Amino acid sequence: MSDATFRVMLRMQIKPGMEADFEQMWKEVGGSVTNHPANRGQWLSRSTTVDEDDIYYIISDWVDEPQFRQFETSDTHLQHRTRLHPYRSGGSMATMNIVASLSRTAA
% of the chain surpassing 70 pLDDT:
98
pTM for this predicted structure? 0.88
Is it the case that residue 35 has pLDDT exceeding 80?
yes
All structural domains of the chain: 6-94 (3.30.70.100)
SS3 letters across the chain: CCCCCEEEEEEEEECCCCHHHHHHHHHHHCHHHHCCCCEEEEEEEECCCCCCCCEEEEEEEECCHHHHHHHHCCHHHHHHHHHHHHHEEEEEEEEEECCCCCCCCCC
Is it the case that residue 83 has pLDDT exceeding 90?
yes
pLDDT recorded at residue 57 = 98
pLDDT recorded at residue 1 = 43
